A and B are shown apart, each in its own frame.
Chain A
Amino acid sequence: MSAWLSMWWMIFRVSLSEKLVYRVDFMLGTLMRFLPIITHILLWTAVLAAGDGEPIGGYDRNHFVAYYLLVTISRAFSSMPGLAAGITEEIRDGAIKKYLIQPVDLIGYLLLKRIAHKLVYYLMAFLPFALIFFLGHEYFDGWPEPSILCAYGVSLLFAFCIGFFMEATLGLIGFWWLEVSSLLFIYMLITFFFSGHMFPLEILPAWLRPVFDYLPFQYLAYFPAALFLEKMDPAQMTWGLWVGGFWSVFFFLTSRIAFTLGVRRYSGFGG
């Protein structure tokens, strides 16, 4: 057990060192991610002004701003830049061979690399996040109760798991397709609209909302933000956490199945 932990700890440390090599690029990339928040806030301020400030989907200006700030945090957990494309590229150029010959689990290895990536990101983004939330604290109704904060933490963990394992599964489809950029484009488009990244899902027609409760996408961005803003009753919150947990396990399993089946048909490209 200790040898196992020691190995994963070393993989994590090496991944962390690697992420810190190009720190200036990483820092700039991190800061640039805050720009879309400003665009969203300006857009929805204009939309609300056009409707004489009437709330849309139960969201007034303050709630819109708070929502977008919280969605930025959700996405800091659920977005996995380069994960699926990276896996497919390694399959295509044969670099994946090194994971197949070493006594190490590929998905676990990628997971730890990603956790290291996220930690460096949080380290870099902490001050900008703190500053923005400090400047925007008036848009919030105050801190939610501790139980909701706990549920919020769990929902962020699920956002990370769903995001990671879903993208890993897409990347592993590369064993069959070799190129998944179109698939990733569709995935990005779907998540852009249906995860709540673009707008709060309450804006969608009432008949469509229940469908989203069952799909995995809203657990990537909308659900944690709406939970923090107390946009749902306790029953909905508990139900949402169960569904988020289900999708985390589901995509964990799909990634493992895709890997097991994919390796069987792998041709060992690239010499």
Chain B
Amino acid sequence: MTLTIDVQNLTKTYRVHQKKEGLKAALIGLGKRTYHEVPAVQGIDLQVHQGEFVAFLGPNGAGKTTTLKLLSGVINPTAGHATVLGHIPWKRENAYRRRFALVMGQKNQLWWDLPAQESFRLHQKIYRIETEQFDRSLNELIDVLDVSKLLKQPVRELSLGERMKMELIAALLHSPDILFLDEPTIGLDVVAQHNIQQFLRHYQQTRKITVLLTSHYMKDITALCKRVVIIAKGRIHYDGSLKGITDQFGGYKILTVQFADDIESPPDLSKYGTVQSIQPPQVTIQVPRAEVASVLSHVLNQHDIADVSVEDPPLENMIAEVFSLAAEEENAS
């Protein structure tokens, strides 16, 4: 597979003005300002091949969006090197800008007071898309996203979900080879989220384009991405498959036991693991992965059980664990 994104030791440090509280500090700040450096991205290495759908996960301020901004050429790095499709992003060459798209869930790129159709026409000219290709792409995207009735409506009058669909159309009209998505489903209701996820999956699978996605919604990640990069405090802490997170960080399983009788106080299972909840006749405990078989055998032998289930812990919990491990490591260093 062709290497599409090659990032080596990429670093971005922001210089941030520190403003103390109060009028006196404000007056002092007129003459002498204090700055401190915020390392947003700290020497990351990343290789992404053509056709991969990669999720960037991390808490707020982890460096996800900064990485996307660096790769799309919006900002210049402090150090390090990156090539995307053979171009250095921050040179902002038109030849590169015609080959990628960046969609930011919190930013509107369409003309606010005009129907989306006019923005699309403008994109056609800006990206120099042949009329035939433009019509074909537009019709296909309109059909898949089911927005034909909204094209003549000013963008300001569209709902958030409808607007995001229009943003995606505008971003994909020039058939980019790489799509950077920064929280594309933020603020959307579950139906709209689902529709966008379905669309992105379909589009990526049919076009085999490379997609980098940041999102706080685990459903986006599990629905779309096979590869996950966990970034915290500007450093990559995990780069691998979704399943690999469970193997690496899911050191326990969730055992849910439903007792046969409608008992008011189920037996104490704390000797087997950490009790998570007691909702008679059901008890949920967290059991170390290596002990699951023996615990299960004990419980089944010693109690009258109606039902039992063993599950991996929720992905959110494992990722939160990675985040806190990363924070601990960072504080220790």
A→B interface (CB under 8 Å): 3, 6-7, 9-11, 14, 17-18, 21-22, 94-95, 97-98, 100-104, 263-268, 270-271
Q: How far is the CA of A271 from the CA of B60 in the complex (A)?
A: 10
Contact between chains at A271 and B92 (CB < 8 Å): no
Contact between chains at B72 and A101 (CB < 8 Å): yes
B→A interface (CB under 8 Å): 14, 65-66, 69, 72-76, 92, 94, 97-98, 100-102, 104, 106-109, 111, 113-114, 118-119, 121-122, 124-128, 154, 182
Contact between chains at B107 and A98 (CB < 8 Å): yes
Q: How far is the CA of A265 from the CA of B15 in the complex (A)?
A: 10
A-B contact pairs, 6 of them (CB 8 A): A11-B122, A14-B114, A101-B74, A101-B97, A101-B102, A270-B106
Contact between chains at B114 and A7 (CB < 8 Å): no
Q: How far is the CB of B77 from chain A (nearest CB, A)?
A: 11
Out of A3, A11, A18, name the residue touching B113 (CB < 8 Å): A18
Contact between chains at B122 and A97 (CB < 8 Å): no
Contact between chains at A103 and B111 (CB < 8 Å): no
Contact between chains at B69 and A11 (CB < 8 Å): no
Q: How far is the CA of A3 from the CA of B92 in the complex (A)?
A: 20
Out of B66, B106, B126, B154, name the residue touching A7 (CB < 8 Å): B126
Q: How far is the CA of A268 from the CA of B114 in the complex (A)?
A: 26
Contact between chains at B107 and A18 (CB < 8 Å): no
Contact between chains at A94 and B66 (CB < 8 Å): no
Q: When A and B form their complex, which 10 residue pairs have the shortest distance between CB atoms, in order from nearest?
A: A103-B94, A10-B125, A7-B125, A103-B97, A268-B69, A98-B109, A21-B113, A268-B75, A268-B74, A271-B106
Q: How far is the CA of A5 from the CA of B95 in the complex (A)?
A: 18
Q: A100-B92, A267-B75 are in contact. Are A14 and B111 (CB under 8 A)?
A: yes
Contact between chains at B114 and A17 (CB < 8 Å): yes
Q: How far is the CB of B153 from chain A (nearest CB, A)?
A: 13
CB-defined contacts of A266 to chain B, threshold 8 Å:
74-76
Contact between chains at A271 and B113 (CB < 8 Å): no
Q: Which of A17, A97, A103, A265 has the most B CB atoms < 10 Å from its CB?
A: A103
Q: How far is the CB of B108 from chain A (nearest CB, A)?
A: 8
CB-defined contacts of B106 to chain A, threshold 8 Å:
270-271
Contact between chains at B75 and A10 (CB < 8 Å): no
Out of B69, B74, B98, name the residue touching A103 (CB < 8 Å): B98
Q: Which residue of B lies closest to A93 (CB)?
A: B107
Q: A97-B74, A100-B73 are in contact. Are A21 and B125 (CB under 8 A)?
A: no
Q: How far is the CB of A168 from chain B (nearest CB, A)?
A: 19
Q: A14-B114, A101-B97, A103-B97 are in contact. Are A271 and B121 (CB under 8 A)?
A: no
CB-defined contacts of A102 to chain B, threshold 8 Å:
97, 126-127
Contact between chains at B14 and A267 (CB < 8 Å): yes
A7-B126, A97-B104, A266-B75 given; name 10 further pairs at CB < 8 Å: A7-B125, A9-B125, A10-B122, A11-B125, A11-B126, A14-B111, A98-B109, A103-B127, A267-B75, A271-B106
Q: How far is the CA of A267 from the CA of B78 in the complex (A)?
A: 11
Contact between chains at B107 and A95 (CB < 8 Å): yes
Contact between chains at A268 and B66 (CB < 8 Å): yes
Q: How far is the CB of A73 from chain B (nearest CB, A)?
A: 29
Contact between chains at B111 and A18 (CB < 8 Å): yes
Q: How far is the CA of A9 from the CA of B119 in the complex (A)?
A: 14
CB-defined contacts of B76 to chain A, threshold 8 Å:
263-266
Q: How far is the CB of B172 from chain A (nearest CB, A)?
A: 14
Q: How far is the CB of A233 from chain B (nearest CB, A)?
A: 48
Q: How far is the CA of A102 from the CA of B122 in the complex (A)?
A: 11
Contact between chains at B128 and A3 (CB < 8 Å): yes
Q: Which residue of B lies closest to A98 (CB)?
A: B109
Q: Which residue of B lies closest to A94 (CB)?
A: B107
CB-defined contacts of A263 to chain B, threshold 8 Å:
76, 92
Out of A6, A7, A100, A104, name the residue touching B74 (CB < 8 Å): A100
CB-defined contacts of B97 to chain A, threshold 8 Å:
101-103
CB-defined contacts of B124 to chain A, threshold 8 Å:
10
CB-defined contacts of B118 to chain A, threshold 8 Å:
14, 17
Q: How far is the CA of A94 from the CA of B69 in the complex (A)?
A: 11
CB-defined contacts of B109 to chain A, threshold 8 Å:
98
CB-defined contacts of A17 to chain B, threshold 8 Å:
114, 118
CB-defined contacts of A6 to chain B, threshold 8 Å:
125
Q: A14-B118, A102-B97, A266-B75 are in contact. Are A271 and B104 (CB under 8 A)?
A: yes
Out of B66, B73, B121, name the residue touching A101 (CB < 8 Å): B73
Q: How far is the CA of A29 from the CA of B182 in the complex (A)?
A: 39
Q: How far is the CA of A14 from the CA of B115 in the complex (A)?
A: 10
Contact between chains at B107 and A270 (CB < 8 Å): yes
Q: A14-B111, A21-B114, A97-B74 are in contact. Are A271 and B122 (CB under 8 A)?
A: no
Q: How far is the CB of A241 from chain B (nearest CB, A)?
A: 35
Q: How far is the CA of A194 from the CA of B66 in the complex (A)?
A: 45
Q: How far is the CA of A270 from the CA of B101 in the complex (A)?
A: 18
CB-defined contacts of B114 to chain A, threshold 8 Å:
14, 17-18, 21
